[in-house]
Amino acid sequence: MSLTIKLTHFNLLTKTHNKNQNFKTPIYHTNKLSKSFFLGSTKTTRKMLGGHVVKIKSSLIEPDGGVVIDLVVKENEKDLKLLEAEKMVKIGLKKIDLEWVHVISEGWASPLKGFMRENEYLQSLHFNSLRIGNGSVVNMSLPIVLDIDDETKEKIGSDNDVALVGPDQTVVAILRSIEIYKHNKEERIARTWGTIAPGLPYVEEVITPAGNWLIGGDLEVLAPIKYNDGLDHYRLSPKQLREEFDRRQADAVFAFQLRNPVHNGHALLMNDTRKRLLDMGYKNPILLLHPLGGYTKADDVPLDVRMEQHSKVLEDGVLDPETTIVSIFPSPMHYAGPTEVQWHAKARINAGANFYIVGRDPAGMGHPTEKRDLYDPDHGKKVLSMAPGLEKLNILPFRVAAYDTVAKKMAFFDPSRAKDFLFISGTKMRTYARTGESPPDGFMCPGGWDVLVNYYASLQAEEATPAAVSA
**356 and 396 in contact (C-beta within 8 Å)?**
yes
Helix (H) or strand (E) holding 405: none
**Residue 130 pLDDT exceeds 60:** yes
Q: Which residues, in sequence order, are bridge partners of residue 395?
A: 356
pLDDT digit string (tens) for 185-200?
999 999 999 999 999 9
Amino acid sitting at position 123 = Q
According to the model, what pLDDT value does residue 427 have?
A: 79
- Tell me the C-alpha to C-alpha distance, in Å, between residue 417 and each of 308, 381, 425: 36, 25, 20
Torsions phi, psi for 409 (to 5 deg): -160, 165
Residue 467 pLDDT class (50, 70, 90 cuts): low
Helix pair angle (337-351, 379-386), 10° resolution: 50
Q: Which of 460, 409, 464, 414 is nearest to 439 (CA)?
A: 409
Q: How far apart are CA 162 and CA 90, in angstroms?
A: 6
pLDDT at 27: 35
For 251-306, the pLDDT digits (tens) are: 999 999 999 999 999 999 999 999 999 999 999 999 999 999 999 999 999 999 99
- Quote the pLDDT of residue 468: 52
**For residue 4, pLDDT beyond 90:** no
Task: Give the integer Cα–Cα distance in Å for 262 and 439.
Answer: 14
Q: Which residue has the higher pLDDT, 24 or 260?
A: 260
Give the model's pLDDT for residue 359. 87
Percent of the chain with pLDDT over 90: 80
Q: Is the pLDDT of residue 308 over 50?
A: yes
pLDDT, greater one: 47 or 109 = 109
- Phi, psi (degrees; rounded to nearest 5) at 451: -60, -45
Asked if 216 and 144 touch (Cβ cutoff 8 Å), the reply is no
What pTM value is reported for the model? 0.87
Average pLDDT of 80-104?
Answer: 98
What is the per-residue pLDDT for 431?
A: 87
Is the pLDDT at 45 greater than 90? The verdict is no
pLDDT beyond 90 at 127: yes
Element (H, E) at 15: none
CB atoms < 10 A from the CB of 409, how many? 15
Q: Taking the CA atoms of the chain, what radius of gyration do you get in angstroms?
A: 22
- For residue 398, the model assigns a pLDDT of 81
User: Domains in the chain, ordered, with CATH?
Assistant: 75-221 (3.10.400.10), 232-459 (3.40.50.620)
DSSP state letters, 267-326? HHHHHHHHHHHHHTT-S-EEEEEEEB-S---TTSPPHHHHHHHHHHHHHTTSS-GGGEEE
Neighbours of 336 (CB within 10 A): 25
Whether 355 has a pLDDT exceeding 70, the answer reads yes
pLDDT of residue 43: 33
